[in-house]
Copies of this chain bind each other. A is one copy, B any other.
Amino acid sequence: MRNRFKWKVSSALSAVLLILPVSYVANADTVQVRNVPKTHYLEAKSENVRWGNIGKGDPVLTVNSGDIVTVEAVTHHSGDDYERMIKGDAGAEDIFHWSETEKHEAERGPGVHIMTGPIAVEGAEPGDVLEVKILDMKLRPSGNGEYAGKTYGSNVAANWGLLYGEMEETPNTREVVTIYEMETKGGNDYAKALYSYRWTPQTDPSGTVHPTIDYPGVIVDHSTVEENHDVLKGIHVPVRLHFGTMSVAPKEADVVDSVPPSYYGGNIDDWRVTEGATMYYPVSVPGALLSVGDPHAGQGDSELNGTAIETSVTGDIQLILHKKAELVNKLKALNFPLLENENEWVVHGFSYANHLAELGKDAQTEIFKQSSLDKAMKDAANKTKSFLMRGMDLTEDEAYSLMSVSTDFGITQVVDGNWGIHGIINKKIFGEKEQKRALLRNSFEQFGADIGWDPATKMITIQYNDNTLLAKIGATTATFNEETIKLTAPIQLNDQKLAEVSEYFVTFYRAKLSKTE
């Protein structure tokens, strides 16, 4: 299927069409992207990653606004099952390489995650907003021939989990690792537990003993643990692929712990940061400096035991720069990581909105003593109210009433120091204002795509570059280059029997179709 349809527009015309704006903030002014968007590939290997640090640093890649980056992100929990998650995977082997005499890791930050990046965005300056569209996420298959094509993750009931030391059974301070395998069959993906084991003291190559899980990178010696294969039998955990940690660099410190999330994003651990979603981050250093990591295959709101299903993922992300002077109301003075998807705006609040600025010189350690959902609730409530006022043109009284009768607040996480609460604003409430409709054919033809329509199968074909999206009217899934994907929303027929989608759909799939090899 991939190569059956060929790009039919002459290359001259195509060049013209490609300089049309390729991205919007939904319902907002367009942002001119001057260059033809490029697709970059950013491998996970030791020189492209930093451990536990999302601060300023030399970019491993510099892109223009509108560019797409295929970014590999490897989980810091890979060492929980070396055989399945490291062995035979050149990138993971390189990143985790640590012998008595050699350690590929350059410098450990105060945090834990393996962060790919930073990626600099040409022209980004403090006060701008960086938009990151998550166009695609794919689990990274095992590099070990024995497990070819299979995908794995690790969940750890860790010493930083909420109920550590308060379990019913003894020892109530046990740490338990559960290895999951993901079954991915297009649209109905799930994870099943393979086995679990209780952490035992592990000795790293420098001879340091780790009685608890305190240093990712340590490879668990499976001869020292007892595997229990009778675990969670018959249970299928829905796969929710997402990046636990995606972050621009904050201005307040040079080396920044990747664990506590904050105004700059970081380890938000919201499972909604997934394919089809768009993140907006306030830029506070030149180049923005985006780091991507901590991929998860499944997590509940709260990430209760300290971790999700920690796995490795390769994602396609599009980076779009919004200059300070041209920000739409929703993004003006943005001081938190904002999420948008087809149906929602999601506001992220924390115990401290900006712990680095609020907690003094020891902020990065102090924050772990100041975790509080009560504070996070106030922060999320105030941010949501402000967003409704400035972004949706409501008075304070209108915003406050509307929040109480319609905004759902959930617990993002209680395990990352700066605890999180998010407010979910349903776009539907605002009608066409927040979910503008567009004719599918016009929107994609304007962009330069070829549209096909088969009345017999009711199948629509959208071709652009070397990519093909095949979707049926009303269907929730579609085919993208032979792969089944979940659509952000079904294509619908309007009263005139013309295919119609949301503006968000248009923007998102224009971007997804723009990827080149």
Residues of B within 8 A of A385 (CB): 163, 168
Residues of B within 8 A of A21 (CB): none
Q: Which of B155, B304, B386, B407 contacts A304 (CB 8 A)?
A: B407
User: Is there contact, CB below 8 Å, between A429 and B236?
Assistant: yes
User: How many angstroms from the CA of A304 to the CA of B427 in the assembled complex?
Assistant: 19
User: Is there contact, CB below 8 Å, between A403 and B238?
Assistant: no
Residues of B within 8 A of A309 (CB): 405
Residues of B within 8 A of A398 (CB): 193, 196, 231-232
User: How many angstroms from the CA of A155 to the CA of B405 in the assembled complex?
Assistant: 8
User: How many angstroms from the CA of A68 to the CA of B259 in the assembled complex?
Assistant: 53
Q: Which of B191, B193, B404 contacts A305 (CB 8 A)?
A: B404
User: Is there contact, CB below 8 Å, between A433 and B163?
Assistant: no
From residue A298, how far is it (CB to closest CB) to chain B in Å? 4
From residue A434, how far is it (CB to closest CB) to chain B in Å? 10
A196, A301, A307 — which one has the most chain B CB atoms within 10 A of its CB? Answer: A301
Q: Which of B166, B298, B377 contacts A373 (CB 8 A)?
A: B377
Q: Mark A419-457 against chain B: 1 for CB-CB distance below 8 A, else 0.
A: 001000010111101000000000000000000000000
Contacts A157-B397, A409-B302, A411-B410 known; A235 to B430 CB distance under 8 Å? yes
A161 within 8 A of B: yes
User: Is there contact, CB below 8 Å, between A234 and B404?
Assistant: no
User: Is there contact, CB below 8 Å, between A163 and B401?
Assistant: no
Q: Give the contacts of A387-427 with B (CB-CB under 8 A).
A: 389, 394-398, 400-411, 414, 421, 426
A333 within 8 A of B: no
User: Is there contact, CB below 8 Å, between A404 and B300?
Assistant: yes
Residues of B within 8 A of A409 (CB): 300-302, 304, 410-411
From residue A166, how far is it (CB to closest CB) to chain B in Å? 8
A174 and chain B: residue at smallest CB distance: B397
Contacts A396-B169, A411-B377, A429-B236 known; A404 to B299 CB distance under 8 Å? yes
User: How many angstroms from the CA of A290 to the CA of B230 in the assembled complex?
Assistant: 43
Q: Give the contacts of A216-242 with B (CB-CB under 8 A).
A: 231-232, 234-238
A303 within 8 A of B: yes
From residue A226, how far is it (CB to closest CB) to chain B in Å? 12
A162, A234, A238 — which one has the most chain B CB atoms within 10 A of its CB? Answer: A162
User: How many angstroms from the CA of A428 to the CA of B188 in the assembled complex?
Assistant: 11
A176 within 8 A of B: yes
Q: Is the interface of A mostly helix, strand, loop or mixed?
A: mixed
From residue A309, how far is it (CB to closest CB) to chain B in Å? 5
Q: Give the contacts of A126-162 with B (CB-CB under 8 A).
A: 155, 157, 161-162
User: How many angstroms from the CA of A109 to the CA of B193 in the assembled complex?
Assistant: 51
From residue A170, how far is it (CB to closest CB) to chain B in Å? 10
User: Is there contact, CB below 8 Å, between B300 and A405?
Assistant: yes
User: Is there contact, CB below 8 Å, between B176 and A397?
Assistant: yes
User: How many angstroms from the CA of A174 to the CA of B372 in the assembled complex?
Assistant: 27
User: Is there contact, CB below 8 Å, between B162 and A378?
Assistant: yes
A206 within 8 A of B: no
A425 and chain B: residue at smallest CB distance: B300
Residues of B within 8 A of A261 (CB): none
User: Is there contact, CB below 8 Å, between A238 and B429?
Assistant: yes
Residues of B within 8 A of A168 (CB): 385-386, 389, 396
User: Is there contact, CB below 8 Å, between B155 and A377?
Assistant: no
A299, A301, A406, A431 — which one has the most chain B CB atoms within 10 A of its CB? Answer: A406
Contacts A309-B405, A405-B299 known; A433 to B304 CB distance under 8 Å? no
User: How many angstroms from the CA of A167 to the CA of B385 in the assembled complex?
Assistant: 10
Residues of B within 8 A of A414 (CB): 377
Residues of B within 8 A of A429 (CB): 235-238
Residues of B within 8 A of A191 (CB): 405
User: How many angstroms from the CA of A150 to the CA of B405 in the assembled complex?
Assistant: 19
A381, A409, A410 — which one has the most chain B CB atoms within 10 A of its CB? Answer: A409
Residues of B within 8 A of A176 (CB): 397, 400-401
From residue A144, how far is it (CB to closest CB) to chain B in Å? 23
Residues of B within 8 A of A163 (CB): 378, 381-382, 385, 400
From residue A259, how far is it (CB to closest CB) to chain B in Å? 16
A312 within 8 A of B: no
Give A residues with C-beta under 8 Å from B. Answer: 155, 157, 161-163, 166-169, 174, 176, 178, 180, 191, 193, 196, 231-232, 234-238, 298-309, 372-374, 377-378, 381-382, 385-386, 389, 394-398, 400-411, 414, 421, 426, 428-431, 433
Given A168-B385, A302-B409, A304-B409, 4 more A-B residue pairs with CB atoms under 8 Å apart are A157-B400, A162-B378, A238-B406, A302-B377
11 contacts between A and B (CB under 8 A): A166-B382, A168-B385, A232-B401, A234-B430, A235-B429, A298-B405, A301-B407, A302-B404, A305-B400, A308-B405, A373-B377
